[in-house]
Every structure is written in C-alpha cells, then in structure tokens.
Structure 1
Amino acid sequence: MYIFMGRQFRANKIHKTEEKMKTIQVFSETEELIISETKKMLQTSGDLEDIKIIEGTLLSLEMLAQSISHYPSLLNQQVLGKHSRSLETLVQNLCTHPGLNLLLNTPTKAVLGRGFTIAKMNFFILISYVCADYLHLCSGRDNIRKVIALNVFSIMAEEVFISIISDDKLNIDLRTKSGFLLAKIWEHRIYKGIEELEPILTDLWISRQSFTPSFGTMQGISEITSFCTGRNPMWLNFLEDSEFNEDILDALKEYLMGLSYEEMIKIEDYMEAESISSFNMSDLERVLEQSKSYPMNDYHDPREMYHFYVRRKNNAMFREKSCMRGPKSTIEKYIICYMLKHGIIAGNGN
C-alpha cells in the first residue's frame, strides 16, 4: 500500500511537472526542422564527432528548459502561507523597483530564462558554423540566421521593456503594460503577444543597410520619412504622431545613419566651417578624430542588432543623467511606447 501511494505521488508529481513544462517552449517548429536537417546532413557526411556535439548541446538545452519549468508560473497566482503573489503583484513590484533595484526583484525563472535564450542562440550559431563546413549539403542557412535573429530580438525586446518600466517619467499605465508583456516573455521565452514588434524592427534593421545618409541635409526629415514609410505603413503614422518630437527624430537619425548625435553635430559643424554642402564618408574618421561610436563589424551577424541597441541605450542614459543635448532614449523604446499607447500591441494581463 505504501509503495502504491508512493508511485501515485510520483505520478502526480510528474503530471504537474509536465504541466509546468508547457510554459517553456524549447524549440519552435522551424527550429526543430533545422535541427532535424542538420542531423541528417551530418549523418550523410559521416561526421560522428559533430553529431555527438549537437546531441550533447541539445540535451543540455532540454535539461535547462526542464529546470526552468519547475519554477512556478509567473502568470498564475501563488500562495505561500499568508503571502500571495500574482501577475498583477509582480508587475506592480517591477514598476516600483526600477533600474538597478529591478535586478534583485526579478523572479528566478526570468533570470534563468534569459540564460536559456542566450544558450539557444549560441546553439544555432554552432549549427551555422557546422553548415558553413558543408555548404554543398546545407540548404537552410537563411532560416538559421533568421532563428538566431529571433532569439536576439527576444533578448533585446526584454531590455526595451525593462527600460520602459524603469522610466519613472513615463505614465504608470504605459509602464504597467510593458510589465505585463515582459512577464509573458519571461514565462514563455518567446514573445507571446508582441509578434507585431518583430517585423517592424527587424525590417528596419535590414533595410537600414541600404539607407544612404545625405549629410548635406542632416536636419531634414523628408528622406527619413520617405525611407521608413517605404518599409512599413505604420511608420507614416508614427512620424506624423502629435508626440513625435526632435528627440525622437534624433534617435531615428542615430539608428539610420549609424552615428551618435554628437558625431552628427560634429560633422555638421565641420561642413559649416568648410562651407561645403555634401560630405564624403571616407573622411568620417578624420573629421571625428576617432572611430565611430557605433561600429558595425558584420551586418550579417544578428547579434550586431543587439550590440547597436545597447551602445545607443548607454549613450542615451548618459545624456539623460548629464543633462546633455541629444536623444534620451532609443528609437526602439520610442516605437514600442507608441505601439502600446495606440493599442498596436496589447499590454495586459490576458
């Protein structure tokens, strides 16, 4: 009888664990397909050593996901003695502990989940290296790059939402909506409910490579408007919004031109001093007297999108603290705030 009860207890425990496991999606269908095709490719080539590495990394990811899933759901209510926690209290706690204080008020599941996303990104980078060695057999290189980009985007979106939550100058409604969306990222490790963000920001990232800045008209918005609206119709509404201001324009210029606000001012001052109407990019480092603030090593590496965001975010934070001229936030933050305000993405507890 004791053994039976023990087995029943273990069965219930396993059942509950499986329920929790549903909150972490280890791989999407596209990712599963890439993994399957990579294994077949390696089996065809007879490279048993690489197969062993892939299998070992897969097992580690699955074990990590299982460990994370054992933590309570962030979306459900949890009661411990006289204490109760829910999605609403979590979001409230995030909004009242911004900045550095937020880190120590972040649920364990969220901290581990971020590591999981980075680990998964590194796994697909590993697969991309393997495919590079078998170009004649690998047909899904573009899909691999897109999967890496989606994982990078998830990490970046998490940081943008944190920056909104931590900004006590924004109204509490906007910060609360961001808190709900952040909790969903933490819970599922995929961007549930914010799918609208990915195409807008990633398309802009890809298309900025073809943007040719006209340094002779750096104060103008016409070329930027024409460029952006040609990518996504939402940009026209964003640029014509009543709250669109010089700060947002400068943040957008930084993004498209790949230069900091300070560097753009320096170029404009140089052009005025030299009485010239156009600027040659080959003279950039000579005029700046140093390398660019936002170096771009490899446009094809999706991680550059995150590096670019972090550098601009750090500069914006420095300007804010130092009361300096220039954008005080990134264009990503401004866009997401706009989308939240206008209900383009739904930030709620549902």
Structure 2
Amino acid sequence: MATFTEGERRVLANSIEILEELDSPFSEVIKSRTEDLEVLAQIIERAPSPNTDLFNRTEGRNFDSLAKKLSSQGLAHVVNLPAKAVLGHGFIVSKLHLFGMLIKLLATYPELEQCRPMVEQEYTDLLFTLMAEDLYTALLTDQEGGEEWVTKAVHELIMMWDRRTSDYLERFALAIRELWQARHTVVPVLGTLLGTVEIMRLN
C-alpha cells in the first residue's frame, strides 16, 4: 500500500521539519492530516476490488463485465458504483487539499520557500490525476457506446479505481505531466482547432 509517493513523503517530511523548527502550530495540523490520509488509504485498500465478485459467482462481476456495463450504460446509469471508486476519489481530493494548504503556508513562512518547487509539482500531479479521472467520468456519462476510445477510457478508469493506493497513479501523473509539458511546445497550426486553441490561450 502506498498512501503517498516518494516525492510526496519527501515534501511533507521537509515541510513538517521546517515548521517544527519554527514552532509553528501548523506542523501538527499537517501531521494530523497526513495520519488521517493514512487511515483513509487503509480503508480503501480493504474495500472490495471493482474487478471481483464478493459472492464468488462464476457469472459475477469482473473486470470485463464492469467495463462492458460502463461502456454500454455510462456512469450516469450505474447506481452502484464500486465503494473503492467513491472512497478513492475523496482520497485524491483530500491529498490535493493537503498540498494546497502547504502552498498557502509558503506565503506565510519564507523558510518554506526552498520547498516551493516540490510542493507545486506534487500539487500539480494530484490536480492532473483528478482532472483525468473527472474527464473519463464526464466522457462516459455522455457517450455513444461502441466507440473504441470508450473501451480504452473505461479500462483506464477501472485501473485508477482499483490501484489508487499503489504506485500506478504516480506513473499515471508523470505521464499526464509530460503530456502537458509537450502540449506547451506544440507550434500553432492556423486554420485548425489546434491553432484556434493556441490563439485563444494568447488572448
């Protein structure tokens, strides 16, 4: 189980150490929020996998059956979302808020300035991961079943749900970050959607 990535743990440890040296009450706040996330991660880890059927039925839920259901019905019609999916989404939001608090503390404690690049990177990775999940969810809620990309999006979404407390999301966030960085190096192609988007960004 991985509640935090190595980068996240390093940022938290450095920030707490500095805050403790400054005798700041926020050191205890950060430690408390960190411990809460550890507990939540354990609950998520114990939650049933969306890929398995608790009753061990031969025709019960598995990865393929869940993917087929999501592809054909979308998320808007799936009343019984896996608990792991719901808890995991809240887990990422909670982590985002924790690192958001650290960003706010940067303005209050100049001594934390050395942590800024790492804090902002971890916050951005969490934000991109959350945005990707929300994008998959939105696409599947309003989609025309049968498209090849729908199947791929469903499989990626289920993987995110099932491996929330593993190093999978760390690798996923890294891929999203690299994609975003590459996006900023693309030359506008006027007369196309890509060119239009770039011009809108300049405005």
TM-score bracket, normalised by the shorter chain, equals 0.7 to 0.9
Instruction: Tell me what 1:41 maps to.
Output: 18
How far is the alpha carbon of 1:258 from its aligned partner?
Answer: 4.0
CA contact (8 A) 1:124 1:144 kept: yes
* 4+ runs deviating over 4 angstroms: 191-195
Cα contact 1:74–1:87 (8 A) shared by 2: yes
Partner of 1:93: 69
1:294 aligned partner? none
Equivalent position of 2:161 in the other structure = 186
What's 1:225 paired with? Answer: 189
Cα gap change, 1:38/1:168 in structure 2, threshold over 3 Å: closer, same or farther? closer
Q: How many residues end up aligned between the 2 structures?
A: 198
Q: Contact 1:121 / 1:152 at 8 angstroms: preserved in 2?
A: yes
C-alpha separation between the residues in 1 aligned to 2:123 and 2:198? 21
Q: CA RMSD in A?
A: 2.9
Q: Which runs of 5+ in 1 are unaligned?
A: 1-21, 212-222, 227-245, 260-280, 282-350
Q: Which protein has the bigger helix share?
A: 2
Match among 136, 140, 160 for residue 165 of structure 1: 140
Could you say which residue in structure 1 is the equivalent of 2:30? 54
Distance 1:193 1:132 in 2: 30
CA separation of 1:195 and 1:127: change in aligned 2, threshold 3 A = closer
- How far the C-alpha of 1:62 sits from its partner, in A, is 1.1
Task: Tell me the alpha carbon deviations over residues 11-49 of structure 1, each in whole angstroms, 9 at most, x when there is no partner.
Answer: xxxxxxxxxxx3xx31100100001101110121122x1
In the alignment, residue 60 of structure 2 is paired with which amino acid?
Answer: S
SS for the counterpart of 1:84 is coil
Structure 1 pair 165–255 and aligned structure 2 pair: CA distance change class (3 A):
farther
Give the conservation status (yes or no) of the 8 Å contact 1:131–1:141: yes
Structure-1-length-normalised TM-score: 0.50
Shift of 1:105: 4.0
Q: Which residue of 2 aligns with 1:257?
A: 200
Unaligned runs of 5+ in 2: none
For the pair 1:28 / 2:5, whether they are aligned, the reply is yes
Pairing 1:200–2:179 present: yes
Structure 1 or 2, whichever has the larger Rg, is 1
Q: In structure 1, which of residues 40, 55, 72 is the aligned counterpart of residue 48 of structure 2? A: 72
Aligned positions of 1:262-273 closer than 5 A: none
d(CA) in 2 for partners of 1:252, 1:63: 47
1:177 maps to a residue whose letter is: K
Aligned partner of residue 60 in structure 2, secondary structure? strand
Once residues 136 and 194 of structure 1 are traced to their aligned partners in structure 2, the CA distance between those partners, rounded to angstroms, is 28
SS of aligned partner of 1:184: helix
User: Following the alignment from structure 2 to structure 1, what is the Cα–Cα distance between the partners of residues 97 and 139?
Assistant: 27
Deviations 1:218-237 (A, max 9, x none): xxxxx6139xxxxxxxxxxx
How far the C-alpha of 1:89 sits from its partner, in A, is 1.2
Normalised TM-score (structure 2): 0.82
Partners of 1:29 and 1:50 lie apart in 2 by: 22
